[in-house]
Amino acid sequence: MRSKYSEGMPDDIDAVAREVSALYLAAERSVLRRQPGVRPLEKLSLHVLARLHDEGPMRSSALAGLVRLDLSTVSRHVASLEAEGLVARQPDPADRRASLVAVTPAGTAAMAARRKRRRERMERILAGWSTDDRRQLARLLARFNADIERAEEPLAGGTRG
């Protein structure tokens, strides 16, 4: 059966898929327009840094569960962030044999700068939107992201939350 999209009239599922693809491409293009002098981080490294910044120091295994990636992937990103001076390992007070990963002052400054630029960009993009429209968009995107998480297949290594 042909979809309405293939006949030139998108159905709701095709329309959402098209808009999500457009959003993804716009996000990719924005990465290419980074500010001069700002060293880019891999998306997953930035996500790991953001979660550590928001949640506080934790073991790599806990971080892997939080970001829903396997431990080897998280370890690679933590090592990259550590090499950049954005995170550091510290002894776990509950178990001196283990270590916690924590955001450094440089990591905190990097997150603040990135979030400031993100907010400024969103303010420009949404300048013509009403407060109600912005709130509805945020609510629907949160719902959409939660549904994506629920619909995903478990990752290799069994570290899904």
Q: What are phi and psi of 88, to 5 degrees?
A: -145, 155
Residue 9 is predicted with a pLDDT of 59
User: What's the fold here for domain 40-151?
Assistant: Arc Repressor Mutant, subunit A (1.10.10)
In this prediction, residue 48 carries a pLDDT of 93
Looking at beta carbons, which pairs linking 114-122 to residues 24 or more positions away fall under 8 Å? 114/46, 117/35, 121/30
| All residues at 6 or more sequence positions from 71 whose CB lies less than 8 Å from its CB, including other chains | 60, 61, 64, 157, 159
- Could you tell me which residues are beta bridge partners of residue 58? 101
Please provide the distance, in angstroms rounded to a whole number, between the alpha carbons at the two ends of the chain: 37
CB 59, CB 101: distance < 8 Å:
yes
Per-residue pLDDT tens, the chain, 161 aa: give them.
Answer: 444 445 565 688 888 888 888 887 777 776 655 555 555 667 888 889 999 999 999 999 999 999 888 999 999 999 999 999 999 999 988 888 889 999 999 999 999 998 998 899 899 999 999 999 999 999 999 999 888 888 876 554 444 44
Q: By C-alpha distance, which of 114, 115, 118, 100 is closest to 56? A: 100
**Which residues does residue 99 pair with via DSSP β-bridges, in sequence order?**
91
